[in-house]
Amino acid sequence: MELRENEPLGARTTLGVGGDARYLVEAHSEGDVCQALDWAERRGVPVRVLGGGSNLLIADAGFAGLVIAVRLRGISISSPDGDATLTAAAGEPWDDVVAAAVSRGLAGLEGLSGIPGCAGATPIQNVGAYGQEVAETITSLRAIDRTTRRTVELSAQDCRFAYRDSFFKSEAPERYVVTQVSFGLAQRPPAPVRYPDLAREVAKRGLATPTLRELRDCVLAVRADKSMLLDPADPNCRSCGSFFLNPIVAPSDVERVRAALPGVTVPTYPQADGRVKLAAGFLIEQGGFSKGLRDGNVGLSTKHALAIVAHAGANAEEVRRLAERIQDGVRVRFGVQLSPEPNFWGF
């Protein structure tokens, strides 16, 4: 196990801010993970697990413990034709997983094209976009239970998925290190497009019945137009993507938002349990925080009000302060609490 000390973490995240890890090890196998956990336990050192760093804000003081950077790699598909199970190691870049599924003609992940990060993080967050969530296709996963050092196999039902949530996130945070995820995918055309932005891109290209590859290209184009791809040439690229979750509220909360915005159409998305999902980006803009807003060395993306961008010279405290300023503004204006989507380390 190659242990590094005082390892910079900012460059390992998409925001590009934050201090050092007191210790860091790169894990290329489940054995590496267990060895690192044993090392930390013997010394009483706290542990955090790092994937692609795309959903993470690290404090300027860094993390005074051991960071395990998951680097397990590999993609396999159970059969050369027909429906199949695609299995990805946790350290595989997520878009490579999507590309592998699409190239094989397997549907179910194409709407998640272009999302940064690694495969192992997808079940924790129940990653979703453009009408798809990984909860719809995950069949099982492997993980190391940090309390026992045993490798466990968990079913999709065990994961208890909800909107941008799972058993790993809300019920057992930090207990498991995901090492492998399996997806049950079907060889079929993509489902009908439901999201307006994506539907417009499909129509613009004259695609009456797009193939999986064509729909993936459309998703990538829409994400690029919103500066939601990792592109070093894009001034908006240093972000976590969507910084806040879309809030799910009671109908009475929706009426309060409508009363605060007379004459404005409030986008709403009814949920099966009777509650309503609101668009966080809409609330942010209507709350007075426009696209392109600058606050010191940080600001909002010029393309997407949900993305907080770290510009040159930014630090983590500036990101945190702007996030709290936005939360306060939306709460005062509409009585709705926005919850951050990224994980916070060291604050």
Q: Tell me how far CA of residue 284 lies from CA of 115, 127, 300, 316, 338, in angstroms.
A: 22, 22, 10, 21, 9
Q: Where do we find the tokens 């709290």?
A: 324
- What's the confidence (pLDDT) of residue 231? 87
Beta bridge partners of 95: none
Indicate whether 135 and 51 sit together in one domain.
Answer: no
Contact indicator for 183, 108 with CB cutoff of 8 Å: yes
Q: Is residue 318 part of a domain?
A: yes
**Same domain membership, residue 21 and residue 89:** no
Q: Are residues 125 and 254 in the same domain?
A: no
At residue 246, what is the residue type?
A: N
Bridge partners (DSSP) of residue 203 are none
CA distances from 213 to 77, 84, 86, 134, 300 (A): 18, 18, 17, 18, 31
Question: Containing domain of residue 32, as a range?
Answer: 3-70
In this structure, what CATH number is given to the domain that contains residue 13? 3.30.43.10
d(CA 80, CA 256): 54
What is residue 113's predicted lDDT score, i.e. its pLDDT?
97
CB 101 within 8 A of CB 144: no
Among candidate residues 25, 55, 70, the one where a domain is terminated: 70
Alpha carbon separation from 201 to 39, 103, 193, 225 (Å, rounded)? 51, 21, 10, 11
pLDDT at 103: 97
Residue 302: CATH number of its domain:
3.90.78.10
Q: What is the DSSP letter of 18?
A: -
- When computed from its CA atoms, the radius of gyration of the chain, rounded to whole angstroms, is 20
**pLDDT score recorded for residue 160:** 96
* Residue 335: per-residue pLDDT: 97
DSSP 192: P
* Strand (E) or helix (H) holding 40: helix 30-43
Q: Which residues pair with 177 in a beta bridge?
A: 144
Quick one: pLDDT at residue 194? 87
Claim: this prediction has a pTM higher than 0.85:
yes
Residue stretches of the chain with pLDDT short of 70: none
In a domain, 57, yes or no: yes
Active site residues: 164, 242, 341
Residue 120 belongs to domain with CATH number: 3.30.465.10
pLDDT of residue 163: 87
Q: Are 201 and 281 contained in the same domain?
A: no
pLDDT at position 29 is 97
pLDDT score of 10 = 96
